[in-house]
Chains A and B, each alone.
Chain A
Amino acid sequence: EVQLVESGGGLVQPGGSLRLSCAVSGFTFSGHDMNWVRQAPGKGLEWVSYISSGTIIYYADSVKGRFTISRDNAKNSLYLQMNSLRAEDTAIYYCARGGSGWDYWGQGTLVTVSS
Chain B
Amino acid sequence: AIRMTQSPSSLSASTGDRVTMTCRASQGISSYLAWYQQKPGKAPKLLIYAASTLQSGVPSRFSGSGSGTDFTLTITCLQSEDFATYYCQQYYSYPRTFGQGTKVEIK
Interface residues, chain A, CB within 8 Å of chain B? 35, 37, 44-47, 50, 58, 60-61, 94, 96, 99-103, 105-108
Contacts and interface: CB of A to CB of B under 8 A. Distances in A.
A58 B87 contact: no
B98 A101 contact: no
B75 interface: no
B19 interface: no
Contacts of A94: 43-44
A9 to B, nearest CB: 14
29 contacts: A37-B44, A44-B99, A44-B100, A44-B101, A45-B38, A45-B44, A45-B87, A45-B89, A45-B98, A47-B89, A50-B94, A50-B96, A58-B94, A58-B95, A61-B95, A94-B44, A100-B34, A100-B49, A101-B34, A101-B46, A101-B49, A101-B55, A102-B34, A102-B44, A103-B46, A103-B55, A105-B44, A105-B45, A107-B43
